[in-house]
Amino acid sequence: MSQIFIGLIAEAAQADMKTSGILASVTIAQACLESAYGTSELAVMANNLFGMKAVLSGNTWASEWDGSIYSKETKEQDSVGNEYTITAAFREYQSLAQSIKDHSDYLTGAMNGNNLRYAGLSGCTDYRTAAQIIKAGGYATDTAYVDKLCAVIESNNLTQYDGGKTMKICLDAGHFGKYNQSPADSRYYESDMVWKLTELQKKYLQQHGFEVITTRSNQATDKATYDRGIASKGCDLFISNHSNAVASIVNNSIDYPAAYCAINHSADAVGLILAQVVENVMGTKQAARIENRSGSNGDYYGVIRGATAVGTPGLILEHSFHTNAATTAWLLDDNNLDRLAQAEASAIAMHYGVGDTGNHASEKKSGWCEENGGWRYYNGDTGDCVINKWVKDPNDGKWYWFDAAGMMVANVWYMHNGHWYYLGADGAMLKGLQDIDGKWYYLNENGEMATEPITLTPDRDGSLQYPGIG
């Protein structure tokens, strides 16, 4: 959960750092502490990550907050330390990015008399010093606040989002020689595919500015799984490439991509993004997923156990199933592997904010763009693609959701702020009565799935009417 939340806000924190001068690692750590990794009531219901009240001790600063209020009960203390409950007004934001910006605007603009309350924070390049400046300015009364903030930064390797160093990735071609022949097509060997894919990933990641090492110098060389994991020492990420199998027989009903991530959850965010990229590029029928598998000695998989032992976030990326005939045919096409490697490298670069990610191209993109095997939507003002956010298309008036890789999501149920929505074959949010997988559902005028009884009234022509249908 923690890594998924960090992945959700990392790009917004990095974008904010460019304008506010506040280290992204510090912003992310504060959000983690103060919103309980995005699970607090204010974070879920009001996109308020930092508990920002409508009025903060009379301070004023240039803010993009639109004045929206979310009220909730909160505990206060009187002058002698007795607790009492009041209903307080908190700021409600349209997005998590807006919450981050308003918080940074406060930290860089709040005054203490004629002086900046947090003077020296903007432009500070040491996270512990930045945390001390925030504490000294009166932000928190907890005497251990600085240590808690730094512990979150260090345990989650948040300095990777501050820039200033070349990120290093270790790639592992999961098998050697001629291994795991497909029962659907005798030409396919998993070892051949992952060798080609790994070399392509290396090429495209290097183009983005990553330093890349591999666990094998040639395809014929074998190496123990644990040893391949520890080869990632000093790297920021370890990826072992594979295709999956259902026993040793053809099974055309199963094709989901999966990322098997370290049980410490250090690779969950990027793992989910990469699995979703595989789903989008390959067009699998089943949705991407991540899993964390434990064994008697820690992580179930030796390569992940090795990576974890040297402090590297690690994952195994399963590129669907080579026991599926359609998947096997797709993976046998070298042009497809090239597209897949490009998309995966681009998603990694976008996640970590490295190099030319395509999110800040020299010529700004605007609107819908088909790329990396799916559809993205770009804001014309900034040239940034929409990530983890709803967008209402101004042309058709329909709502669309874009995932952590910036890809439009389609043919799937999606939960947002406690409500279920269904995104159709074209990605648009569905409304009204819908037959989904052989079952009938009612989605109201906001696209939310009804969970309480509803009344459908026949119109004059006999058709059933309810708000949102018609």
Burial class (CB in 10 A: 0-12, 13-18, 19+), 97: buried
Q: How far apart are CA 216 and CA 199, in angstroms?
A: 11
Q: Give me the residues paired with residue 415 across strands.
A: 420
Tens digit of each residue's pLDDT (9 = 90 or more) over 397-450: 999 988 766 788 888 888 777 788 999 989 999 998 899 988 999 898 889 998
Tell me which residue has tokens 């009025």.
55
Q: How far apart are CA 14 and CA 408, in angstroms?
A: 22
Strands (E), 106-235: 111-112, 115-116, 168-173, 211-214
For 277, the token pair is 């990229």
Q: pLDDT-derived band of residue 360, with 50, 70 and 90 as boundaries?
A: very low
User: What is residue 321's DSSP assignment?
Assistant: E
Across the range 453-468, mean pLDDT stands at: 67
- AA identity, residue 10: A
Q: How far apart are CA 419 and CA 447, in angstroms?
A: 9
Stretch among 94-103, 124-133, 162-171, 438-447 having the lowest mean pLDDT = 162-171
- The backbone torsions φ and ψ at residue 389, rounded to the nearest 5 degrees and listed phi first, read -155, 150
For 66, the token pair is 């639109």
Across the range 296-307, mean pLDDT stands at: 95
For 35, the token pair is 């919103």
Tens digit of each residue's pLDDT (9 = 90 or more) over 108-121: 888 877 778 888 88
* Average pLDDT over all residues of the chain: 87
Tens digit of each residue's pLDDT (9 = 90 or more) over 274-299: 998 999 889 899 999 999 999 998 99
Q: Is 328:188 a contact under the CB 8 Å cutoff?
A: yes
Q: What pLDDT sits at residue 449?
A: 92
Asked if pLDDT for residue 455 goes beyond 80, the answer is no
Strands (E), 155-295: 168-173, 211-214, 237-244, 258-261, 289-291, 294-295
CB 86: neighbour CB atoms within 10 A? 8
CB 389: neighbour CB atoms within 10 A? 17
Give the alpha-carbon dihedral of 318, 323, 324, 330, to 10 degrees. 60
Q: How far apart are CA 30 and CA 48, in angstroms?
A: 12
Q: How distant, in Å, are the alpha carbons of 164, 222, 244 from that of 299?
A: 32, 21, 19
Q: What pLDDT sits at residue 60?
A: 67
Predicted structure pTM score: 0.58
Which range has the top average pLDDT, 192-196, 268-272, 461-465? 192-196
- The backbone torsions φ and ψ at residue 235, rounded to the nearest 5 degrees and listed phi first, read -95, 160
The DSSP line for 110-139 is -EETTEETTTT-TT---HHHHHHHHHHTTS
Tell me which residue has tokens 């909730």.
72
3-class DSSP state of 110: coil
Q: What pLDDT sits at residue 39?
A: 92
Q: Give me the residues paired with residue 241 across strands.
A: 173, 317
Q: How distant, in Å, are the alpha carbons of 43, 228, 231, 280, 376 from that of 288?
A: 26, 25, 28, 9, 18
Listed in sequence order, the residues at least 6 apart from 394 whose beta carbon sits closer than 8 Å to its beta carbon are: none
